[in-house]
Amino acid sequence: MLVASTGAIGQPLPMPRIGRGIRSASAALSASGLADAAEAIRTTDTFAKLAHTRVTLGGRRVTLAGIAKGSGMIEPNMGTLLAFLLTDAAVSPVFLRAALRRAADASFNRVTVDGETSTSDTFLLFANGAAGHAPLRAAGGRDAAAFEDALAEVSVSLARDVARDGEGATKLVTVVVREARSPAEAELAARRIANSLLVKTALFGADANWGRILQTVGAGRVRLVLERTQVSLGGVVVFRQGASAGPAARARAAKALKAKQIEVEVRLGAGRAATHVWTCDLSYDYVRINADYTT
């Protein structure tokens, strides 16, 4: 048994109530209970988060399913986020632990809602081996690769749902940085954009304000070659060759930013490194939810 919890930091859990709940939940176990569990772990989440996929390993059909919760206090190293994955694959603990770390880096550690990391993030994967195929023991080989692809698929689906459901969020935002001088600078630029309050509020208001994006990249001392730098919002180029693309482009971008799922792309013109981060906009409701969180 592994215990996970979120909530106000430093407040003891009501153990008598939790004890009664454990006994009640144990008596209600069922083969169709995963959706109930996804619903039960919600706090400020606005919808339950589930994902699943199937893959063939060693001639046997294998299922991998997962649930997650998380809306606020989300930043790399997962933040206030709980995710539980289940599979009937036969996998050695050593291989499974390494695969899970790779999946986390490609999914939940690519999410930021508000730039805040909490004390209780948890990502667990349970494998019972019931599918009956030859156990996977090391990376490499077709079956191991197929399993990791399935694990990444479920993890990324859940991670994107966490970003989509950020506290008060109205939009899922993918921040893409290309042509950075190094992977570290690509990562820094993407996270500065994704965590900028000015950028996030502009996205909420569908304001095609490319100046806020370049400002936060520059404030991070990230190298860019201005005459080769390009900013696109919702697929519309709004800054290129050292200048604004003009009011008509900005108007088209503002219209594109009204969508529920948008992309912010920045080409720095300084190298070949690239990365991406999933985030969300910042609305009035984020302030409302967090202003009275403990009361």
Supply the pTM of this predicted model: 0.88
Query: Same CATH fold, 172-291 and 28-164?
Result: no
Burial category of 61 from C-beta neighbours within 10 Å (exposed 0-12, middle 13-18, buried 19 and up) = exposed
Q: What does the alpha-carbon distance between residue 288 and residue 273 come to, in Å, rounded to a whole number? A: 38
H or E element, residue 15: helix 15-27
pLDDT in tens, 114-170: 887 777 788 999 999 999 999 999 998 999 999 999 999 999 999 999 999 888 899
Cβ atoms of 49 and 156 within 8 Å: the answer is no
What band does 98 get if pLDDT is binned at 50, 70 and 90?
A: very high
Mean pLDDT of 158-186: 94
Architecture of domain 28-164: 4-Layer Sandwich (3.60)
Q: What does the alpha-carbon distance between residue 79 and residue 95 come to, in Å, rounded to a whole number? A: 25
- What are the residue ranges spanned by the domains of the chain? 28-164, 172-291
Q: What does the alpha-carbon distance between residue 67 and residue 269 come to, in Å, rounded to a whole number? A: 39
In this prediction, residue 119 carries a pLDDT of 73
Q: What does the alpha-carbon distance between residue 265 and residue 267 come to, in Å, rounded to a whole number? A: 7
The most confident of the ranges 22-36, 64-78, 144-158, 276-290 is 144-158
Mean pLDDT of 255-276: 97
- Is position 6 annotated as part of the catalytic site? no
Evaluate if residue 76 carries a pLDDT over 70: no
Give the domain 172-291 fold: Ubiquitin-like (UB roll) (3.10.20)
Q: Which residue has the higher pLDDT, 48 or 290?
A: 48
Q: What does the alpha-carbon distance between residue 71 and residue 80 come to, in Å, rounded to a whole number? A: 8
What band does 295 get if pLDDT is binned at 50, 70 and 90?
A: low
Active-site annotation holder among 44, 80, 87, 229 = 80
Beta bridge partners of 267: 178, 230
Cβ atoms of 147 and 99 within 8 Å: the answer is yes
Q: From the CA atom positions of the chain, what is the Rg in Å?
A: 21
